[in-house]
């Protein structure tokens, strides 16, 4: 009996099955023909060898579609990044579509090249289409790192601040990714630092100075313009000094000059008030510190005091006793 002609039938991914079709001679096709002398009902599974030519794959729509990001996210702002739409299909896709956060992008091609800014961050999806169909990839997040757009110090309490009141400064930070860390620094005292969105402390002359905040993340550091914190406090002390210095006695009809002297104060005192035996004599809005008694009489003697004031408060001197001697006829 003459040789049989066998037909090659695909059997999955692991080989092919040769099926006898009868004692026929088949003209050589793209892969040739094979004659094997076997029984009529014989069949044989023939594995593909390394040197065997594979039969053409059947057409398939796109499957296993995914977005590949190079380099991997997150990406610093302005640094190049490539997004590729990958797909397994036969034939290869001839059209691609892209979307950002669900909105279609008017871009065709398997690849996107970006110099990303903050607005380019989001979920990127792609679709691949060939003659057999279309498939979409799961969206991939592109994370873009960028430093704070702006940083500014805003006082939440009045400045200048009165002593013992509360001072609160807020660091206002513009958009940034990731969220920045805020740190405070005092320019005239670097050791006086703190971390947090707000800086709050009790107003004291020792805390007066120049403050600023800085916001930092992986993309960089931005510093605010400094703000000066001024603390106003009342005069620390007051005392009366005779001018010129001398005994606390004055001759009748002469000239007596008393000077009111005060300690540290901010701002400087704007008002000085004189008292004799607890009764106000006069006050000076121009902070006049001298009291002149021309031609004093014995009744001008007594306990003198001065009080100095500014917007933060006042201080009063200790009493100064003045005695006016009477030049009476014997």
Residues 93, 26 within the same domain: no
Q: Tell me, what's the pLDDT at 2?
A: 47
Q: Tell me, what's the pLDDT at 91?
A: 94
* Neighbour-count burial of 264, counting CB atoms closer than 10 A to its CB (0-12 exposed, 13-18 middle, 19+ buried): exposed
* Neighbour-count burial of 241, counting CB atoms closer than 10 A to its CB (0-12 exposed, 13-18 middle, 19+ buried): middle
CA dist 60 → 130, 205, 259 (Å) = 9, 80, 106
* Neighbour-count burial of 67, counting CB atoms closer than 10 A to its CB (0-12 exposed, 13-18 middle, 19+ buried): buried
Q: At which residue do the structure tokens 């065997």 appear? A: 52
CA–CA gap between residue 52 and residue 193 (Å, rounded): 75
The residues pairing with 233 across neighbouring beta strands, listed in sequence order, are: 266
Q: Tell me, what's the pLDDT at 267?
A: 96
| Within a domain: 54 | no
H helix count then E strand count, the chain: 0, 33
Q: What is the CA radius of gyration of the chain?
A: 48
**DSSP 8-state secondary structure symbol assigned to residue 300:** G
| Within a domain: 167 | yes
Judge whether residue 252 has pLDDT over 70. no
**DSSP 8-state secondary structure symbol assigned to residue 70:** E
Q: 108 pLDDT band (50/70/90 cuts)?
A: confident
pLDDT > 90: what percent of the chain? 64
Judge whether residue 61 has pLDDT over 60. yes
H-helix or E-strand spanning residue 18:
strand 16-22
Residues 84, 162 within the same domain: no
Q: What is the mean pLDDT of residues 246-275?
A: 85
| Within a domain: 262 | yes
Residues 35, 76 within the same domain: no
Q: What is the mean pLDDT of residues 249-259?
A: 77
Q: What is the mean pLDDT of residues 214-233?
A: 97
Residues 253, 293 within the same domain: yes
**Final residue of a domain: which of 202, 232, 262?**
232
Residue 12, C-beta contacts closer than 8 angstroms, at least 6 positions apart = none
Sign of CA dihedral 22, 23, 27, 30: positive
Token representation of residue 13: 């991914």
Residues 248, 227 within the same domain: no
**Final residue of a domain: which of 117, 144, 171?**
144
Q: At which residue do the structure tokens 């001759």 appear? A: 251
| Within a domain: 51 | no
Residues 75, 89 within the same domain: yes
Q: 51 pLDDT band (50/70/90 cuts)?
A: low
Q: What is the mean pLDDT of residues 161-173?
A: 97
| Within a domain: 198 | yes
**Number of Cα atoms under 13 Å in the Cβ half of residue 321:** 2
Judge whether residue 103 has pLDDT over 90. yes
Q: Tell me, what's the pLDDT at 44?
A: 45
Residues 125, 168 within the same domain: no
**Cβ atoms of residues 181 and 199 within 8 Å:** no
What is the domain range of residue 68?
63-144
| Within a domain: 58 | no
Token representation of residue 224: 């605010």
CATH of the domain at 161: 2.60.40.10
Q: Tell me, what's the pLDDT at 122?
A: 97
| Within a domain: 52 | no
Q: Tell me, what's the pLDDT at 93?
A: 95
Residue 187, C-beta contacts closer than 8 angstroms, at least 6 positions apart = 209, 210, 211, 212, 226
Phi/psi region, residue 187 (left: phi>0; alpha: psi -120 to 50; beta: rest), is alpha
Residues 226, 254 within the same domain: no
CA–CA gap between residue 117 and residue 114 (Å, rounded): 9
Residues 268, 218 within the same domain: no
| Within a domain: 53 | no
Cβ-based neighbour number of residue 223 at 10 Å: 14
Q: 86 pLDDT band (50/70/90 cuts)?
A: very high
CB crowding 171-205: b at 16 or more within 10 Å, else e: bebeebbeebebbbbbeeeeebeeeeeebeeebee
* Of 5-9, 200-204, 295-299, highest mean pLDDT: 200-204
pTM recorded for the entire structure: 0.70
Q: Which residue has the higher pLDDT, 20 or 34?
A: 20
**DSSP 8-state secondary structure symbol assigned to residue 178:** S
Q: Domain count for the chain, please give it.
A: 4
Residue 49, C-beta contacts closer than 8 angstroms, at least 6 positions apart = none
Token representation of residue 3: 């040789």
- List the single range of 205-214, 272-281, 294-303 with lowest mean pLDDT: 294-303
Q: Tell me, what's the pLDDT at 282?
A: 72
**Final residue of a domain: which of 97, 120, 144?**
144
Residues 105, 76 within the same domain: yes
CA–CA gap between residue 288 and residue 270 (Å, rounded): 9
């Amino acid at each position: 009996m003459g040789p049989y002609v066998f037909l090659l039938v695909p059997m999955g991914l692991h080989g092919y099955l040769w099926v006898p079709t009868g004692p026929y001679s088949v003209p050589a096709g793209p892969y040739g023909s094979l004659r094997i002398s076997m029984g009529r009902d014989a069949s044989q599974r023939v594995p593909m060898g390394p040197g065997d030519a594979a039969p053409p794959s059947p057409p398939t729509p796109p499957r296993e579609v995914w977005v590949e990001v190079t380099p991997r996210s997150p990406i610093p702002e302005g640094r190049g990044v490539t997004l590729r739409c990958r797909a397994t299909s036969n034939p290869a896709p001839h059209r691609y579509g892209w979307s950002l956060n669900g909105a279609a992008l008017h871009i065709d091609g398997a690849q996107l090249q970006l110099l990303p800014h903050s607005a380019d961050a989001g979920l990127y999806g792609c679709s691949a289409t060939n003659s057999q169909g279309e498939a979409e990839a799961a969206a991939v997040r592109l994370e873009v790192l960028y430093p704070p757009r702006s940083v500014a110090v805003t006082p939440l309490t009045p400045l200048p601040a009165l002593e013992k009141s509360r001072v609160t400064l807020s660091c206002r930070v513009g958009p940034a990714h990731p969220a920045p860390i805020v740190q405070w620094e005092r320019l005239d005292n670097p050791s006086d630092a703190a971390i947090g969105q707000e800086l709050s402390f009790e107003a004291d002359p020792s805390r007066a100075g120049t403050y600023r905040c800085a916001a930092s993340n992986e993309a960089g550091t931005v510093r605010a313009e400094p703000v000066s914190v001024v603390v106003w406090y009342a005069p620390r002390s007051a005392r009366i000094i005779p001018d010129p210095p001398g005994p606390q006695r004055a001759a009748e009809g002469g000239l007596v000059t008393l000077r009111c002297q005060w300690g540290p104060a901010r701002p400087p005192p704007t008002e000085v008030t004189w008292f004799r035996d607890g009764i106000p004599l006069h006050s000076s809005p121009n902070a006049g510190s001298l009291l002149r008694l021309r031609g004093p009489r014995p009744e001008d003697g007594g306990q003198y005091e001065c009080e100095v004031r500014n917007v933060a408060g006042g201080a009063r001197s200790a009493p100064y006793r003045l005695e006016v001697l009477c030049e009476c006829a014997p």
